[in-house]
Chains A and B, each alone.
Chain A
Amino acid sequence: MLGQQLVNGFVAGATYALFALGFTLMFGVLRVINLTYGVYFSAGAFLALALVRNVGFGLGLALPAAAIATGGLAVLIDALLLTRLRRAKAPELASLMVTLGATLLLYAVLTAWLGTEIRRFPPGLVGGAVEFGGIRISGAQALIIVTTFVLVAGLLTLLRRTRLGLAIRALAENPEAAQLMGVDAGRTVAFVSFASGALGAAAGVLIGLEYNAIQPYMGEAMMLKGFAVIIIGGLGDIGGALIAGLLLGMAEALTAGYLASTLKDAVGFVLLVLTLWVRPDGLFGRASARRA
């Protein structure tokens, strides 16, 4: 019983971490809380669904295609909304407000276009459940766990071991100095937008598969978990987001199992406020933009 609950919590936690990766990457480098991120999550799921249903793609093709297309969308939105503010060196809250307004618009467009009814992927896209030691994991769940860990490892390697990663980190650290050292800020920013949009979309496809309920506002519900995860893990901290996601998932599962299932949705917020009080730098104290 406890075992199954911990496993369920672990899986839920992996989905939260997967969702939060692109979000925290975007903040860490661009210093912007981009609330349109939830839209990329929904858009990715819808695109993959359309590709599977109407074009007959398998998951192996639909997932990357949806991620790439959504990444492009993210670059476009970032360019439309944020370049102007970035150039004017507007306060970070201005960009938060712009993306907040844009989020309302984008969700309204999605809803007007696709309606609010819940759509589902056709069955059989991923393998069946595996069971060992009396503990069940569905195919989608296994895929989420593997993908999350692969993406975290991939992102960390990209950031720490490659030239592009060095440019990204330099830009995050000090945009002016980075540009003086020859970093092409425009291209690096575009790449980060693309990567986080694609990550959001991939999360949308996989989490859409696991819950099997796709509708325009699915991203909004995840955003709240996302806030908790990126603050608990430390804003901009990718490893922190992974651990924080897993922690949140398991804390929720245990709360639902042993206290009351209605309290489950409050766990994230309680942990968030607790983090702010006790450890505002995040679990590992590596948050990238902390002080006022």
Chain B
Amino acid sequence: MFQDFLFTYQSLIDAVGINGLLALSLYVVLALGQLSLGQAAFMGIGAYSSALLTTRLQLPFPLVLLAAACLPALAALLIGRPTARLSGVYLALATIGFGEVLRIFYVNAEITGGALGLSGIPERAGFLWIYGTLAAASAGLALLCRTRIGRAMEAMRQDELAAGVMGIDLARYKLAALVASAALAGLAGAFDAHSSSFIAPGEFGFDAAVTILSFALLGGTGSPFGPVLGAVILTLLPELLRPLQDFRLVLNGLIIVLVVLFLPRGLLAWRIGRVR
């Protein structure tokens, strides 16, 4: 019975998990008051590099995943190092630019299959890989909320200046968060490539980055579960209400505007381990 269900809705179930992972990756950055619009780009690096490593070099899947996490993390280091010392605006702008440059690269480069993308990627990332990673990552982040690191992140989001005065190394936290978030997004990209067996440049553009942001904001960034909830809702909703599909982007835009203005804590306003 469960097997049948999995088989019928496999691509949708995979998409929910992958989007959950992406929302979680953005949460890592939002949790300390930063904004990255490069999650789709980091995902793209993971997707393309993993697909190439699997199809060209026939590397084993765990090794491929390792590379898919490390390469975007390296890119994040390059952008995050200088912006970590600056106001959050710089990171947001730099990551938008980064995403666009990569998209142009994917469309033009031969190795990435140009505008057609890559196809025929073996389906190696099943339910267990995707949801295992999602569960591990959300559990890890939820536990992190209760530690010294989690409290420091919360403090930075509330008031960066005060947090800095309290002795929190702001730049180090920001850089570490961006690198971790890029690695998570890269993993999501590898799962995407190895479950849908096809990737194209359009999946990793600006629209995708904004979609990921709408997941996280709708769910709320008080705990890691909010963004995952947002991803589940916004992935399933267009499937249930078919007419919505043409308006997906508009819907995402509307959600972002309304949530930031009227519901800044998102749907799941509950927070873990608030300092008493």
Contact = CB atoms under 8 A, between A and B. Distances in A.
Given A104-B250, A269-B98, A291 B87 contact: yes
A136 interface: no
Interface in A37-54: none
A254 interface: no
Interface string A258-279: 0000100110110011001100
A207 B83 CA distance: 32
Interface residues of B, number: 45
B33 A97 contact: no
B53 to A, nearest CB: 24
A1 B170 CA distance: 50
Interface in A206-259: 224, 227-228, 231, 235
Contacts of B213: 97, 100
A93 B253 contact: no
Contact of A227 (B96, B170, B264): B96
15 contacts: A33-B89, A33-B93, A85-B261, A93-B92, A100-B213, A101-B253, A101-B256, A102-B253, A227-B96, A273-B94, A276-B82, A276-B94, A277-B81, A290-B86, A292-B86
A151 interface: no
Interface in A65-107: 81, 84-85, 90-94, 96-98, 100-105
Contacts of A94: 260, 264
A97 to B, nearest CB: 5
Interface in B93-109: 93-94, 96-98, 100-101, 104-105, 108
Interface of A: 27, 33, 81, 84-85, 90-94, 96-98, 100-105, 108, 224, 227-228, 231, 235, 262, 265-266, 268-269, 272-273, 276-277, 280, 289-292
Interface of B: 33-35, 37, 78-79, 81-83, 85-90, 92-94, 96-98, 100-101, 104-105, 108, 160, 164, 170, 210, 213-214, 217, 247, 249-250, 252-257, 260-261, 264
Nearest to B81: A277
Contacts of A280: 82, 85-86, 90
B249 A97 contact: no
Nearest to A230: B93
Contacts of B85: 280, 291-292
A93 B89 contact: yes
Interface centre among B160, B247, B254 (most CB of A within 10 A): B254
A100 B210 contact: yes
A105 B81 CA distance: 33
Given A91-B33, A276-B82, A280-B90, A97 B256 contact: yes
Nearest to B105: A266
A91 B89 CA distance: 10
Nearest to A97: B260
B86 A276 contact: yes
A89 B51 CA distance: 45
A269 B164 CA distance: 30
B176 to A, nearest CB: 15
A92 B247 CA distance: 28
A181 to B, nearest CB: 24
Nearest to B161: A292
Given A276-B86, A280-B82, A290-B87, A101 B254 contact: yes
Nearest to B83: A276
B201 to A, nearest CB: 13
